[in-house]
Amino acid sequence: MQTILITGCSSGYGLETARHFHANGWSVIATMRNPSAAPFATSETLRVLALDVTDEDSIAVALELAGPIDVLVNNAGIGLFGALEHSPMQKIRDVYETNTLGTIAMTQAVIPQFRERGAGVIVNVTSSATLASFPLAAAYTGSKTAIQGFTRSLAHELLPHGIAMKLVEPGYGPTTAFAQNTDIRLEDVLPEPYGSYAAPILAAMAEPELSTTEADVAKAVWQAVHDQTGQPHFPAGADALALVA
């Protein structure tokens, strides 16, 4: 039985991906900052571990408790929507600390065991914001675009060691709790003159023509993990697929 470790499993894409792999016979290590709130019924093949990807000690402890793994999915992330002019720099730093540096830190931490074994898959979950430019998401887009470049470059040095690097690029997921993982109020980051500009954008987001579900992302991660063709990118969701097309 193969083992997968997934970050950011308290809700949304991480939660559904953990459930999907577990239902398909994998041993799953679902990680999150607050395991006491885990929405799982744990079992011998589904464990929940505390993990803060911005904390080096937390990463080390979680990987020690996890034991050998076959796949790492870097899914943990936070959002930031609004005008850059009014976005607090500390919040921007938080976004990069989690989305970018957290992903890099987790990747660096698992490379030794994958290299020694001569096998392993690392899946980095980014965003369709890396496929096309979207307004009012500059800092968030930058944090995810950095991981696109990081993944593509790292893939070259890890391939000779039998380690595959994959990218999953979800579209807009209105049914997730993603927008709730920040304490920034929209009115604080969208004062005039940005408020009037943002109004039609927010209206379109409330009723999107195409969007992404949690199941779309879980299936894309599954495809990425099992890919044998060398495909590096896996857009997830109808809107992400439309952007690629």
Q: How far apart are CA 171 and CA 158, in angstroms?
A: 28
Provide the 3-class DSSP secondary structure of residue 170. Answer: strand
User: Which residues is 211 bridged to in the sheet?
Assistant: none
Q: How far apart are CA 98 and CA 126, in angstroms?
A: 12
Q: Is 58 left (phi over 0), alpha (psi -120 to 50) or beta?
A: alpha
Verify whether residue 140 is a known catalytic residue: yes
CB 127 within 8 A of CB 84: no
Alpha-carbon torsion, ordered 132, 135, 139, 144, to 10 deg: -20
Token digits of residue 154: 């790292």
C-alpha distances out from residue 32 to 154, 163, 216, Å: 25, 25, 21
From 96, 140, 172, 197, the catalytic residue: 140
What are the φ and ψ backbone dihedral angles of 47, each rounded to 5 degrees? -115, 145
Kindly list the catalytic residues.
Answer: 140
